[in-house]
Amino acid sequence: MNSLWYAFPLLNIQLEGKEFMFPDVSQWPPYVLGAMIIAGVAFFAALWPKLNVLRKAMHENRWDRLCDRFRNTLWIAFGQSKMFKDGSAGWMHALIFWGFLILLFRALHFFYIGLFPYAVIGFPGSEVIGGVYTWIKNVVVILVALACIYALYRRLVTKPKRLNLSLEGIVILVLILLIMTTDIGFEGARYGMDQFPERKVLYEDALFINYWTHILSILVFLVLLPRTKHFHIITSIPNVFLGNVTQTGNQLHRLDFEDESKETFGVTRIEEFSWKKLLDFHTCTECGRCDVFCPALNSDKPLSPKQFTIDLRDHLNAQTPSLLSDKKKEESPRPPLQGGHKIGSSVTLMGGAIQDATVWACTTCGACEEECPVMIEFVNKMVDLRRGLVLTEDRYPKELGEAFKSLETHSNPWGFPGTQREAWAEGLDIKQWDKNNPTEYLYFVGCNGSFDNRGKKISESVVRALKKAGVDFSILGNREGCTGDPARRLGNEYLFDMLASQNAETFKEQGVIKVIVHCPHCFNSFKHEYPEFGVKLEVIHHSELLADLIKENKLPTIGGATNETVVVHDSCYMGRHNKVYEAPRDILKAAVSPDAVKEVETSRERGTCCGAGGGGFLMEETGTRISHNRVDELMQANPDTIAVSCPFCVLMLEDALKAKNLADRVKVKDISEMI
């Protein structure tokens, strides 16, 4: 008996002891080996330049917190957890992914029997294991085939707006479907040879055709992988493992302005991105989930997170030959631009591959990162490019000039004298911080709470709540300065460094340890960014502290005393960037009643930005205002009050309500004002 099928006993199901004969396969090994070599050379020829560019790129440490990274990989990469937010399309992709993992052994088997058609391998229990695997494999083949048919239906018939309907996507799906159907055809021919020996020649031909179509489809698929967007099949699992495992969505790090070897700061050329950011570009699946929830794109801004990544990937691929060239390049000043191109050279990064308006449209809200199934990071790249524009090219929206100047001279973005920072506290009997007799907490008020008329009311409300609960706190008064958050998000890293250094020195000199803030942007900066300036603070947002005080019965509330309906708006920098969702809701349920607190579909991790983030409150906005779209979403709950936990959200949403003539009907309140 021909031992072809016994070459891999794990996959062998013997039919009632009957023998079946395979066609003469003695000539297969050299052809199979030749096809594998050709495909392998073509695969690595395309893969090596990409890997080499990553190897030469700027360093970035992504090997910390290994336990968290392995957990993310199991849950997000292998478990496909983010995919299931996407309904049927998510299940479709998950089935194809899991099918690939299970059918990997089947693919290896096909090549093995082609290379060693008469080899016999076995071990105790192999028939049982092989039988179980074969049953699972047969089910998976059918499920993957159905998933591919559904995927083709979406691309060719329903055509979701978020998808790039490219030919290569269809080709890859057809190849996967061909691999599945030829697997079924191979099994059918094998079965037919056993059951109908009188038709042996017919089934031999079918076996031959299905076998070679199967392995050639796999090899063509392999060759295409590094040449198309489907390179993400190789990079996605590593990208998830190397992704952001911190609580904050902004992995921004301090720049070394004392490094004399650096002539530029930020990113002005593609090779100035770190290796991890370059890996992100190659990992984009072009699924468009990021676009669906981008507040900038949904308000007619010139920013598509998906297209942003694709454009950077294409620019990287175009620049790869020159990046790997052994010719020594002489550095020269950037040539002038003509229509987004260097004169006599290739497309530039900013102003060419990526337009300035695209970068300035981002609110750094992190919605794109929340939705990305392969953990691509967007915010840090936006800030890198803004740094390049501001620090190296001195190119930014004109309205930011005054804001930068005010931050530098008055430590606030609106130009109010720093000597007026504590004026809001007059008559409130608030202690000033005394390093010789410190209070338990420092209440850091922030620029909005110190200077903006609406913001001052929030500060006063926080003070009343803290006093009512008997919290021991004080303020810095005029010694307080801007955290520098708007400067950093707008790319002026030098200004952020100056402001953060000043505050850090004050904290160290005054012995500050515990800090209360009511601004999520201050919270994020102190908690995640100030440690690089030598200060490690115990930072607590007022929503967290007030929620704890209510639970401890230190702060009385009037739950159920009113009939108003309250809808929750999540601040991006407390929600997505710091995963604080429950504290504001706990306060509201105590202050009003659990039944009165409503949610809209776009809440919590899918909450829509108000438009203030990323320095947006300082820039002119084109197209539909983001805050107007957000109010439309919140009004679906028919609320009396919109409850927020960020002073900038209060301003943006109040302005939107006024513009829509809803200010008399709906109020915006900070959660401290709800109690």
Helices 28-56, 200-224: inter-axial angle, 10-degree rounding: 10
What does pTM read for this prediction? 0.89
- 3 state SS of 597: strand
Distance CA 575, CA 585 (A): 12
Structure tokens at 277: 């950011």
DSSP 313-340: HHHHHHHHHHHT--SPPPP-PPPPEETT
Tens-digit pLDDT profile for residues 483-519: 999 999 999 999 999 999 999 999 999 999 999 999 9
Q: Which fold has domain 270-320+346-392?
A: Fumarate Reductase Iron-sulfur Protein; Chain B, domain 2 (1.10.1060)
Distance CA 591, CA 594 (A): 9
Nearest partner of 396 among 484, 470, 489, 482, judged by Cα: 489
Tens-digit pLDDT profile for residues 176-201: 999 999 999 998 888 888 788 778 77
pLDDT score, position 205: 84
DSSP 613-645: GGGGGGS---SS-HHHHHHHHHGGG--SEEEES
The radius of gyration computed from the CA coordinates of the chain, to the nearest angstrom, equals: 30
Spatial contact of 259 and 267, defined as CB atoms under 8 Å apart: no
Please report which helix (H) or strand (E) contains residue 346, including its range.
none
Count the Cβ atoms, other than its own, within 10 Å of residue 427: 7
Spatial contact of 412 and 450, defined as CB atoms under 8 Å apart: yes
Give 433's Cβ-side CA count (13 Å radius). 23
Does position 335 have pLDDT exceeding 70, yes or no?
no
Q: What b/e sequence results for 153-177 when a residue is b if at least 16 CB atoms lie within 10 Å of its CB, and e otherwise?
A: ebbeeeeeeebeeeeebeebbebbb
Structure tokens at 472: 């021991």
User: Strand 341-342 to strand 337-338: parallel, antiparallel, or no bridges (unpaired)?
Assistant: antiparallel
Cα torsion angle, 332, 335, 340, 345, sign: negative
User: Strand 441-444 to strand 514-517: parallel, antiparallel, or no bridges (unpaired)?
Assistant: parallel
Does position 95 have pLDDT exceeding 80, yes or no?
yes
Tens-digit pLDDT profile for residues 587-605: 999 988 888 999 999 999 9
Tens-digit pLDDT profile for residues 120-162: 667 787 788 888 998 999 999 999 999 999 999 998 998 888 8
Contacts of 331 (CB under 8 A, 6+ apart): 263
The CATH number of domain 5-232, selected from 2.60.40, 1.10.10, 1.20.950, 1.10.287: 1.20.950
User: Which residue blocks in 154-250 are alpha helix, DSSP H?
Assistant: 167-195, 200-224, 232-241
Distance CA 575, CA 293 (A): 15
Distance CA 592, CA 550 (A): 13
Contacts of 55 (CB under 8 A, 6+ apart): 275
Sheet holding 473-474, edge to edge: 473-474, 441-444, 514-517, 538-541
User: Which residue blocks in 511-620 are alpha helix, DSSP H?
Assistant: 520-524, 542-551, 582-591
Average pLDDT for the chain: 89
Provide the pLDDT confidence category of residue 84 given band limits of 50, 70 and 90. confident
> Which one-letter amino acid corresponds to residue 94?
A
Does position 81 have pLDDT exceeding 60, yes or no?
yes
Contacts of 266 (CB under 8 A, 6+ apart): 272, 384, 385, 386, 387, 388, 389, 390, 391, 392, 491, 493
DSSP 12-65: ----TT--------TTHHHHHHHHHHHHHHHHHHHHHHHHHHHHHSBP----S-
Residue 338 backbone dihedrals phi, psi, to 5 degrees: -135, 105
> Which one-letter amino acid corresponds to residue 419?
T
Tens-digit pLDDT profile for residues 534-565: 999 999 999 999 999 999 999 987 665 567 89
Tens-digit pLDDT profile for residues 374-405: 999 999 999 999 999 999 999 999 999 999 99
Spatial contact of 199 and 192, defined as CB atoms under 8 Å apart: yes
Distance CA 526, CA 539 (A): 7
Nearest partner of 186 among 120, 103, 95, 96, judged by Cα: 103
Spatial contact of 500 and 529, defined as CB atoms under 8 Å apart: yes
Count the Cβ atoms, other than its own, within 10 Å of residue 445: 30
Compare 6 and 22 and report the one with higher pLDDT.
Answer: 22
The segment(s) of the chain belonging to CATH 1.10.1060.10 are: 270-320+346-392
Distance CA 517, CA 527 (A): 11
Spatial contact of 345 and 269, defined as CB atoms under 8 Å apart: no
